Amino acid sequence: MPRTRIADPADPRLDDVRDLNHSDTRPDLPGGKGLVIAEGPLVVSRLLESRFPVRRLVGFPGKLDAFLDEHDVPADLPVHEVSRETLAEVAGFDLHRGLLAAADRAPEPALDDILAASRTVVVLEGVGDHENIGSMFRNAAGMGVDAVLFGNGCADPLYRRSVRVSMGHVLRTPFAHLGGTFTTWQRSLSQLSDHGFRLVSLTPDAAAEHLADALVDDRDRPWGKVALLVGAEGPGLTEHAMRATHVRARIPMAPGTDSLNLATSAAIAFYERQRSLR
Amino acid sequence: MPRTRIADPADPRLDDVRDLNHSDTRPDLPGGKGLVIAEGPLVVSRLLESRFPVRRLVGFPGKLDAFLDEHDVPADLPVHEVSRETLAEVAGFDLHRGLLAAADRAPEPALDDILAASRTVVVLEGVGDHENIGSMFRNAAGMGVDAVLFGNGCADPLYRRSVRVSMGHVLRTPFAHLGGTFTTWQRSLSQLSDHGFRLVSLTPDAAAEHLADALVDDRDRPWGKVALLVGAEGPGLTEHAMRATHVRARIPMAPGTDSLNLATSAAIAFYERQRSLR
């Protein structure tokens, strides 16, 4: 493989990992270069196995040696050795993990294909926090959710922080954005109904059904296909979105407490879904 | 109430909130001043309602006005008005929330009293991360867990970050440290058995029982008292701790995925416990 040592921080071959935290020019901005950046051996290995075309691997010599000893990489993949100091200057901060890969974004799978192949999906609305998006993917993957669908107002799942927090699961679990604008995206939920999905809103509303009841029919059998809708912490799902679902479900909370973190609530719903299927 | 405006950052009355992030002299270090620091109106109000003796309230004038309009505070509680600049210099960083309270630590409730009054407790071992401790308390409070017990090697629940992440629930949910050293603390779990607790270890081990089965007896009735044991992310519970429990329980994970975040796993166990009791 074409392994090269780069000492000059201005070398354009390092542009893929330049200014990683700089808000305007960071390489993972969808409007800019729109790359996917993976950090650390686990996430880099998941990027290499993913549908995203990997452009290059960058790392400290020892970290590259260790990684390449254990992983097969395409023979024509550029691999760049850099010192800790050089990488810190290029990235804009000290990257102590010392191993990065950059890939191009790839088109999303078609919604119909996702829906046909899935038994359980989660639909997010207004989830603007990259860390929550990442945790959501990690929890979804861990508990057998087949895909993540985005309604309006969600943060970019391929932002570096989301990729990292997800432990690379945003690179593995299929996701797609539902069409429409802020006020109309909910209409595309009918596509899910058309595919036979039972649509379940998650809400703290005490009048909603217990989550355990919402995921089974009136003879206690699990629904064949379930879509769990989750809104942002605080505002929750819009009424518009909830009206497009079959049922509203709640996780019972002790009196006088606050609602759970978004990714935690979703994890509980994923668990209950999996439990209903056992 | 004795409300005073303080402009001099060196004023000793501000020592309770001085160098808040400084690793050696921060006022919430157990070995040092050992104070409890609350930030923001919600957590400050929970501190005022707690068993911890509040020493003073410090804030921007507008933030204090807003808080004192809505909350009763003891007539003799010192209240200090400071500017944003003064507070930033005292604390060592910009505290944009602009409202703080400091309290003394208070003795832990007696373990026997906690155990007699509790139906569900969680026992932590080796959980060294303050954020995980805080999330654990938030989730425990939200889902009706009565107390948090600490085995060996856990981070301080009253550290500022734990208090903040818990949304103040470390100030409300009773907690206590179990006795003994690294290798002997597990013996004190017998006190829990003596109080009739069913001890349940949480583990990713595929040979363990499904969580749902572990929380009910062989006639599907929930155990009257349950203690859930949770270890650190990564190493998990020590074998020694698991051997002291009645049953090992797992949250089923999809193949090829990673274990869940510690506080998320615990939240699922709290949910299942609450579900078994409905």
Residues A180 and A241 in one domain: yes
Which segments of chain B have a pLDDT < 50?
Answer: none
Q: Which of A141, A257, A268 comes nearest B271 by C-beta?
A: A268
Rounded to the nearest angstrom, the gap between the alpha carbon of residue B42 and the centroid of all alpha carbons in its chain is 16
Q: What is the mean pLDDT of residues A13-27?
A: 87
Q: What is the domain-level CATH number for residue A30?
A: 3.30.1330.30
Q: Give me chain A's average pLDDT, please.
A: 94
Query: Is residue A193 scored above 90 in pLDDT?
Result: yes
The continuous run of DSSP H or E covering A230 comes out as strand A225-231
Residues B209 and B131 in one domain: yes
Half-sphere exposure of B151 (CA within 13 A, CB side): 31
The per-type count for chain B, helices as H runs and strands as E runs, is 10, 12
> Dihedral of the CA atoms B188, B190, B192, B197 (nearest 10)?
150
CB contact under 8 A, A212 and B251: no
Q: Return d(Cα A207, Cα A264) in angstroms, integer.
A: 21
Tell me what pLDDT residue A247 has. Answer: 98
Tell me what pLDDT residue A234 has. Answer: 84
The band of A183, judged by pLDDT with boundaries at 50, 70 and 90, is low
Tell me what pLDDT residue B147 has. Answer: 98
Residues A259 and A163 in one domain: yes
Q: Return d(Cα A120, Cα A243) in angstroms, integer.
A: 20
**What percentage of residues in chain A have a pLDDT greater than 70?**
98
Residues B228 and B128 in one domain: yes
Largest Cα span, chain A: 68
Query: Is residue A118 scored above 70 in pLDDT?
Result: yes
Final residue belonging to a domain, choices A58, A85, A104: A104
Residues B210 and B255 in one domain: yes
Chain A interface disruption, residue of B258, B259, B273, most A CBs within 10 A: B258
Tell me what pLDDT residue B258 has. Answer: 78
Residue A68 lies in domain? 3-104
Dihedral over Cα of B125, B131, B133, B135: its sign: negative
Query: Is residue A1 scored above 80 in pLDDT?
Result: no
Residues B8 and B117 in one domain: no
Give B223's contacts (C-beta < 8 A, 6+ positions apart).
B198, B215, B216, B217
**DSSP codes of every residue in B71-84:** ----TT--EEE--H
Count how many domains chain B has: 2
Residues A153 and A266 in one domain: yes
Q: Return d(Cα A266, Cα A263) in angstroms, integer.
A: 5
Give me the helices (H) in chain B, please: 40-48, 61-70, 84-91, 111-117, 130-142, 160-165, 189-194, 211-214, 239-243, 262-276
Residues of chain B with Cβ-Cβ distance to A173 below 8 Å are none
Residues B59 and B145 in one domain: no
**For tokens 């023979």, what's the residue?**
A75
ipTM score assigned to the predicted complex: 0.91
Residues B11 and B93 in one domain: yes
Q: Return d(Cα B125, Cα B151) in angstroms, integer.
A: 5
CB contact under 8 A, A264 and B212: no
Tell me what pLDDT residue A185 has. Answer: 86
Q: What is the domain-level CATH number for residue B266?
A: 3.40.1280.10
Final residue belonging to a domain, choices A104, A122, A141: A104
Residues B143 and B246 in one domain: yes
Angle at CA B106, nearest 5°, toward B104 and B110?
175
Query: Is residue A84 scored above 90 in pLDDT?
Result: yes
Residues B259 and B154 in one domain: yes
Reported as a single tens digit per residue, the pLDDT across A35-80 is 999 999 999 999 999 999 999 999 999 999 999 999 999 999 999 9
Final residue belonging to a domain, choices B104, B124, B154: B104
Residues of chain B with Cβ-Cβ distance to A212 below 8 Å are 275
**For tokens 């981070």, what's the residue?**
B155
Residues B183 and B231 in one domain: yes
